[in-house]
Amino acid sequence: MNIVLFGPPGAGKGTQAKEISENYHIPHISTGDILRDNVKNGTELGNKAKEYMDKGELVPDEVLIGIIKNRLIEPDCNNGYILDGYPRTINQADALDEILENLGKSLDVVLNIEVPDEELVTRLSGRRICSNCGANYHLKFSPPSKDGICDVCGGKLYQRDDDKEEVIKQRLETYNNQTAPLIGYYKEKDILVNIDGTGKVEDVFEDIRSVLDNL
């Protein structure tokens, strides 16, 4: 099953990708996570990407297309994958089509998770992440039992630099201007399914499950 998880920042793509990956045994490929790993490790790619990420802007297409091209030929992608955060521009979507065509594959579905802007800001500003194991929390919706400490491994929780209010605004604007046009792109290809992302995590996943089980 080859899936794209689509939606604005904070829609719950990462949260739902984790559920899908565990339940359907396919890898979760998050371009945001790949870029953040590079930033953390101080690679050349990471240093370049950080300038854009900190401002809430998109990292240039050629960088992302290269990352995806290399990732999709890994053997763990043979039985499918979940793309989270890619594509984000028409250029990236065209490149994905070309990569898949060369591999003799195609996308099965694009799940468009819909959440109103006001809720997105609440979700992003309250998100906290474990610096050790990467577990995801929300100060209001899924708080850790002990303030600032991960329930899973005891690691310290931190806030992503781009989850500060002024960057969130820019990320939403970038999404609306550069990424939202992909909704029409995939609607035309007849593989877009809208998912109401406003319910509880488990309810949103049940909706996704019913789509995936009927593919």
Q: Which stretch binds ligand AP5 (CB under 6 A): 10-18, 95-103, 104-112, 182-190?
A: 10-18
**Binder to ligand AP5 among 111, 123, 157, 186 (CB under 6 A)?**
123
**Binder to ligand AP5 among 138, 195, 207, 208 (CB under 6 A)?**
138
Q: Is 209 in the active site? A: no
Binding residues among 140-159 for ligand AP5 as defined by CB under 6 A:
141-142
71 binds ligand AP5 (CB under 6 A): no
Q: How far apart are CA 211 and CA 72, in angstroms?
A: 23
121 binds ligand AP5 (CB under 6 A): no
Q: How far apart are CA 212 and CA 195, in angstroms?
A: 12
Q: How far apart are CA 4 and CA 100, in angstroms?
A: 13
Cβ atoms of 176 and 164 closer than 8 Å: no
**Binder to ligand AP5 among 2, 31, 38, 112 (CB under 6 A)?**
31
Tokens of 58: 């998109």
**Binder to ligand AP5 among 3, 4, 6, 14 (CB under 6 A)?**
14
Residue 136 amino acid letter: N
Report cis status (omega within 30 of 0) of the bond before 9.
Answer: no
- The alpha carbons of the chain give a radius of gyration, in whole angstroms, of 17
**Binder to ligand AP5 among 21, 136, 159, 194 (CB under 6 A)?**
136
Q: Cβ 113 to ligand AP5, closest distance in Å?
A: 7
Question: How far apart, in Å, are the Cα atoms of 121 and each of 39, 105, 136?
Answer: 24, 36, 16
Q: Is 123 in the active site? A: no
Q: How many residues does the chain have?
A: 215
Half-sphere exposure of residue 51: CA atoms within 13 angstroms, side-chain side = 6
Nearer to ligand AP5 (CB atom), residue 71 or residue 123 = 123
- The residue count for binding ligand AP5 (CB under 6 A) is 34
Question: How far apart, in Å, are the Cα atoms of 162 and each of 105, 165, 177?
Answer: 34, 8, 18
Residue 67 amino acid letter: I
**Binder to ligand AP5 among 4, 59, 195, 208 (CB under 6 A)?**
59
Binding residues among 84-113 for ligand AP5 as defined by CB under 6 A:
85-86, 88, 92
Q: Rule CB under 6 A: which residues touch ligand AP5?
A: 7, 9-15, 31-32, 35, 52-53, 56-59, 64, 85-86, 88, 92, 123-124, 127, 136, 138, 141-142, 162, 171, 200-201, 204
